[in-house]
């Protein structure tokens, strides 16, 4: 199925949301310090994407992903997507995982040594949870000072990425 020949449904993913589908569609989201994780199962054509704002669910180490505000957290969003694939009886070794975002949008001096930006914390949280869930990243485009706009094709797993221009705040010394 070619996205050029056929009009695919276009979905806009807002912060704190997840989209999971077995039907062909394109999901668009814009990222700054937030993180988008895509998961795709090639044989079944299942795709999922999340848009996490913050690294961990209220600082809890063992969040199950079922809390009410969970989707705005990177760790809970990943766990929730894993649950959706588990419900479909998909082996974790067959899931293709990609990660985007986590930029440092504003270059302000950090007041305390060792304090990581929200973007950096989101990246670390995602890598930790993916590892603990037995998932491997096949692609990642994270960090830096630029935002990103991504287009995720749920039926092919393809992700198109556009880097956004730096903001005025990010250009200041």
CA angle 115, 117, 123 (to 5 degrees): 115
| Residue-range domain boundaries for the chain | 10-171
CA angle 34, 54, 71 (to 5 degrees): 90
Does residue 11 register a pLDDT over 80?
Answer: yes
Q: Which CATH architecture has domain 10-171?
A: 2-Layer Sandwich (3.30)
Does residue 42 register a pLDDT over 90?
Answer: yes
Q: From its phi and psi, is residue 124 left (phi > 0), alpha (psi between -120 and 50) or beta?
A: alpha
pTM summary value: 0.86
């Amino acid at each position: 199925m070619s996205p050029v020949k056929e009009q695919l449904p276009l979905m806009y993913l807002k912060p704190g949301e997840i989209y999971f589908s077995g039907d062909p569609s394109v999901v668009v989201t814009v990222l700054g310090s937030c993180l988008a994780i895509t998961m795709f199962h090639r044989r079944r054509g299942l795709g999922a994407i999340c848009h996490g704002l913050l690294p961990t669910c209220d600082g809890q180490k063992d969040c199950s992903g079922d809390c009410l505000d969970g989707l705005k957290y990177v760790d809970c969003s990943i766990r929730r997507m894993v649950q959706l694939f588990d419900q479909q009886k998909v082996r974790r070794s067959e899931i293709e995982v990609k990660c985007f975002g986590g930029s440092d949008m504003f270059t302000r001096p950090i007041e305390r040594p060792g304090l990581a930006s929200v973007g950096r914390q989101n990246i670390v949280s995602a890598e930790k949870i993916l590892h603990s869930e037995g998932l491997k990243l096949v692609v990642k485009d994270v960090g830096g000072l630029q935002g990103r706009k991504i287009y995720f094709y749920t039926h092919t797993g393809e992700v198109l990425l556009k880097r956004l221009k730096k903001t005025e705040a990010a250009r200041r010394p």
